[in-house]
Every structure is written in structure tokens, then in C-alpha cells.
Homo-oligomer: A and B are copies of this chain.
């Protein structure tokens, strides 16, 4: 039996395009003589569909699309993911289902049992967990068909009390198929492969694993679909961050040698914290955050994130404020790579407090990249604000208000140009400043998409160095000068914030690892400083609440996957 895996990039709610894509791959699979072709989780509607599934009209569209796809399931079996109505009187009205279509009919379905409801996932909001399990017969083989998270409970995942594969194995299946929409983070792929391998070793069956690829607003799916033989070897791996297609002989996936009993026995239970960032040694945090292997993956994810956001929103051109600092430099380089240099408009907006090198550095950067740029000084606008506000501000001293006016004048200019010419404003804030509230709402926090908002400042530097490896596009001065918002004379980030080496370490412990003040202090960091940093993080929730989507590359990004009360008083 030949099984094809179709790793594709879907658009949520775009039924026409999704079915067209699926039908295209069915045709390809037929031409190559496949018996069965497998797609990813909820491929019919795109993942995650969120509250769209609460619309009966949306579900009806899913069913119509299933019919259209089923019409092509002649002479070939097709496994797709799509919501399924729950006709039982009890339980939520939908299942997250895998459908086997064959001979133009629905031949079998599986309901997802383990519904991820943490971080960016909300599946229990919509779906009833599966509670009945049976293998599906196809051409004389019994398939144990599961969906994504279903294989993440090997009996030792404390998040779930059910283990669907433990149920299915009782029916002596011949192979396992898992359809997934498993998102990228720079820590995740290793876990994913290990979890699949453990299933193979535990159940002694080959596994055909088909993952989604492409970005949906903030969530990047990285593909990497694969086939394991029954001895726990990867016999076929699909590309990462790209659509791909593969066809594999089932028979070849039955390993001739039996599984070394030792290998299966040697497995220790997976860390409870598998889904939490892994590094515990405080001395190694920065090394880990900036490791080249991680940065290389992050780079690919950000490119997909930018590309897909624009393509799926129907835009092609970007604008951003280019300050001569490291964050906007990295964002600009990435945007040029993702969208084409001619489609990225850099706006240099010096204020009375900008240093001369800022404009020079930003100009050199755009000359290196070859993208269009404009210099628009904000002095006149800034002064018109000050004179307009004079009757209200009177003779109060220069302060945060005046700093923010400059930042918001820039935001206004960028949005005006974006509105005039139909560009999307890319935001250039990094995770360290978002965490501490070191940014101006409606000013430098403006934008439709945040590119480096899930990278700590030290990671932005590491990414800059990585981008410069092959071709020195980012001027050295941007990499070496002290970071500054340049909103008052001689300002430096270090006036208000601790060094990024320390700050990022504390933030990582608090945000990614959910450590409390006691644990962080025990890393040897000044208790007063820890208290101050955690207070900043929690007190600035109101700002992040109004921030744009951030391309997610870590296991805990700000945004939809991190939900913290705004009026909370914890650690503030």
C-alpha cells in the first residue's frame, strides 16, 4: 500500500482555496499511484478557526467542502481534518475530527480526544473530547487514526486522563496515522520527533505523521511531516517551513528487525514540563536563547510569518520606522527578504534628540538593502504639539509626556503613509521592551504585525549577527552602539533598564518558565531588581493588551497565548 503525505498551507475560512489545494494533491497522489493520501488537522477550514466554528453557517461550509473533496476520493482514500457535528444529546456540539473518504463516501471518522487548551490553544472551547475509539479499516489494513495532541499523551502526560492510542491498540491496528497542526517554536521540533518515536516504540507500529505548514496570524506551523518505521527510525522526512509532498510504501515501514526491547524500556517518562522552556541553568540561559541553531530556525519562522500575513491579508507592501537601532534594522532586513526589497518602505524620522549617526546608520542600511526610504524629520510636528499644548502643560518640566509625543508623531506619520498608499505598518518592538513597558502606546507600539516581538533583545542582536554572516547588510555601528530611544538628550536604555544580559535572563525565567520571585532571586540576582522587573512586566499588561499580533517563535509569546488580568495586583 502506498501512502502519500500532503503537507500544505491553508487559509482559515477560505474554503474555495483550501479545497482546491486538497483536490490538487489528491490528483497528484493518484498520478503517483497512491492508495491513500493524508492531509493535516482541520485542513478543510484551516487551523485554528477559533470562534468561526460557533457559526452554524461556517460548519455547513465545512460539510460542503468535505462533499467536494469526497467527489475526488475515487480509487484513492483521502484523510482530511474538519469539524464534525456531535449528534449525541450530551457534550459540546462539535468534534475535531479526522475523516477517511473513499469511493466518494465517508468511510470512517476519528474524534480528537486530547484537546489542547493552554497557551495559544482553545480547543475545549469548541470541541467535545472523543470518548469512543475504533480503528478504521482500509484495503485490509486497520488504521489507528489520531489527531495531533492525541499522541502527546503516552499515559504520562498529566494534562489528560485519556490515552486514545492505549484504547486503539486493543483493536490490533496495523499502522498509525496522525494528522496535526503542531506549531513551531524554537524548542519544539525535537520534542515532537521524540513524542512520535515514543509512540512507535510503545505501540510497535509504523507512524505516518502529517503536519500543517505556514503561518496563521501569529502562529507558525513548520511542517516537518514524517514517517517512522516500526523500529523507531525516521524513514522519510518532509521539508520544514515549506509545502511538501511525499509518497511512501507502507510495507517498507514495517521494520524487519524487531525493536530492541532495551530501547523501549530505556525510555524515562517525558518531563512534565516538556511544553515549558527547557533550560534550567541560569548561567546558560543567554547562551541558549542566542544559540545559532535556534536563531537559524527563528529566522525561517519569521520569514514565513511575514510572508503569510501579507499574502493572507491581501497586501504586498510594508512600511516601517527605521531608527538606526538594532530592532528596526533586523525587522527591515527580514521584511525585505520576505516581501522583496522594493516592497518595503523605510521611513527615517529624526527628532530634535536624534543623534546624527542614527539617520546615517539607517540610511546606510537601506542603501545596503536597496529598499526605498524617506527621511521625514518630526521637528515641526513635535513643536506644533508643544505649542498647542502650552496652555495646558504651562511650564511643567520636560518628561514622559514630551517623549511620547515624539513617538506618537512618528506612529501617526507611518500610519498616514500606510493609509495613503495601502501599506501595512510593521512593528519593530522586541520582547524585552514589550515585557517591561519600555515603549509608547500608539507610538513605537503601533503596527499591524510585530516581527521581532517574541525575541528578547539579546536574541535580536544574535539574529542581526546571523543575518550579517553571509552578507554584511547591517552596519557595524548599529550592532555596537548602546541602545537608545533618543527621545531626550543623551538618553540610553540603560538609564531606565538593567543590562539586557540580566534583564533577559530574569524575563525568560518569569515568562517562559513561570518562575516566581523566590526562584529567580535564588539564581543570584538582586532581589530589589527582580521585584522591579516583575512589577514592570505585570503593570504593563494594559499596554500589551493593545498590541498587534506577534509572530510566535518561543514557547510563550505575548499575545493570544498569554492571558493575564489587567487589573490584577499580583507582584505589582
Contacts and interface: CB of A to CB of B under 8 A. Distances in A.
Interface of A: 11-14, 17, 46, 48-52, 54-58, 60-61, 89-93, 117-118, 122, 124-125, 128, 131, 156, 158-161, 216-217, 308-309, 312-313, 374, 376-378, 380-381, 383-385, 387-389, 391-393, 396, 399-402, 404-405, 408-409, 411-413, 415-417, 419-420, 441-442, 446, 448, 514-519, 542, 545-549, 560, 562-572
A378 B388 contact: yes
Given A52-B564, A58-B516, A124-B124, A408 B405 contact: no
18 contacts: A12-B565, A12-B567, A52-B568, A55-B570, A57-B517, A58-B516, A90-B158, A117-B117, A122-B563, A124-B124, A217-B565, A217-B566, A217-B567, A312-B567, A376-B389, A381-B381, A408-B408, A408-B411
Nearest to A124: B124
Contacts of A570: 12-14, 52, 55, 58, 61
Contacts of A566: 217, 313, 549
Contact of A442 (B49, B89, B393, B415): B415
Nearest to A122: B563
A171 to B, nearest CB: 23
A325 to B, nearest CB: 21
Contacts of A51: 562-564
A213 B398 CA distance: 42
B52 A567 contact: no
A385 B131 CA distance: 62
A415 B566 CA distance: 19
User: Could you say how many copies of this chain the assembly holds?
Assistant: 2
A385 B416 contact: yes
A568 B92 CA distance: 23
Contacts of A519: 57
Contacts of A545: 548-549
Nearest to A541: B217
Contacts of A378: 388
